[in-house]
Amino acid sequence: MNTPHNSLSGVLRRWRVTPPANPNFRHAVWHRVNARVRESWPVYLRSHATAWSLAAVVMLGGAAYSGSALAQARARADREAMVVTYLVDLDPRVQAALKP
Amino acid sequence: MKYLLGTLTVLLLAAAATGFFCFRMSVDPALHAAARKGDSMEWLCADFHLSKEQFAAVKQLHDSYAPSCEEHCRVIQQATKARQALVSAASGDAAALAAAESRLVELRTSCETALTRHVRQVAAEMSPADGERYLALVLPRITNFDHLAAPDLSLNRAR
């Protein structure tokens, strides 16, 4: 007996899908994969903007302060050495003690 | 990870450049050059911003002070030797020793007074702010006489 159910089964058995081949399919897939892998630097920075901004402020501020402090310390040491040299040249009490 | 290391490297380089820039902006090369040479007059000129006229006046003051400095030095040495002779003499003349001590103190005081007068004259040739800074640097040392112990080390370091 040829019921509607048997008819549908027969149609499904005979059905063949023949989609048109996409020659760009493989390339398109790899392109999408690589796009994910190759995240750009600006994109990375934008996604970590807060942390890197904070780090930049701290590091640059610290470096600026250290540079100035180092220069001031050197100036202090130079001045200290020069005051002593100057007074040694100028002070007869020192001259008297240093001369044989 | 690659971007983290890259960003960190860039930041470190920027920090080093910033530190170097701030150091160069804050440092006084003239002062450092004077200290390296151990040249007092160059130091005065650089650190106290002396003009040519001020420098000439200060140099003249120093030159005119030099003979009196030599003379003070000579009499202090003589008085010191006299005192040493009394100390090492077996006689132990206490009165003479006290007189020698007193003479030495008197000479040192007179020397300190002359030196103080001289540095005040030098300060008067500078701008008021620089003159004050100069006096604040040298007067306490003259009064406390605390530049005797250090000079050898400092001179060795500076030269």
pLDDT tens column, B26-71: 888 888 888 888 888 899 998 899 999 999 999 999 888 888 777 7
Nearest CB to A74; choose among B27, B47, B65: B27
| Confidence at A2, pLDDT banded by 50, 70, 90 | low
- Chain B residues touching A98 at Cβ < 8 A: 151
Asked whether the predicted pLDDT for residue B19 surpasses 90, the reply is yes
- The verdict on A51 touching B (C-beta cutoff 8 Å) is no
So what's the pLDDT on residue B157? 37
What is the Cα–Cα distance from B60 to A81, expressed in whole angstroms? Answer: 23
So what's the pLDDT on residue A35? 75
Chain-chain contact of A83 with B23 (C-beta, under 8 angstroms)? no
- Which of A19-33, A40-54, A86-100 bottoms out in mean pLDDT, i.e. has the lowest? A86-100
The residue with greater pLDDT, B158 or B148, is B148
Asked whether the predicted pLDDT for residue B10 surpasses 50, the reply is yes
Average pLDDT, chain B: 83
Asked whether the predicted pLDDT for residue B116 surpasses 60, the reply is yes
Calculate how close chain A gets to B95, using CA atoms only, in Å.
24
- The verdict on B76 touching A (C-beta cutoff 8 Å) is yes
Chain-chain contact of A79 with B31 (C-beta, under 8 angstroms)? yes
- Chain A residues touching B72 at Cβ < 8 A: 92-93, 96
Asked whether the predicted pLDDT for residue B146 surpasses 80, the reply is no
Range of the domain at A88: 76-100
Tell me which H or E stretch contains B124. Answer: helix B94-125
So what's the pLDDT on residue B3? 85
Q: Per the domain annotation, does A87 fall within a domain?
A: yes
CB A67 within 8 A of CB B20: yes
So what's the pLDDT on residue B126? 93
For tokens 């100028």, the residue is A90
Q: Per the domain annotation, does A96 fall within a domain?
A: yes
- Which of A46-55, A71-80, B14-23, B142-151 bottoms out in mean pLDDT, i.e. has the lowest? B142-151
What ipTM was predicted for this assembly? 0.73
Domain count for chain A: 1
**Percent of chain B predicted with pLDDT > 90:** 33
Average pLDDT, chain A: 85
B79-97: average pLDDT: 76
Calculate how close chain A gets to B103, using CA atoms only, in Å.
14
Chain-chain contact of B35 with A63 (C-beta, under 8 angstroms)? no
Tally of residues, chain A = 100
Tally of residues, chain B = 159
So what's the pLDDT on residue B150? 40
For B73-97, give the DSSP string. HHHHHHHHHHHHHHHHSSS--HHHH
Distance between start and end Cα atoms, chain A: 139
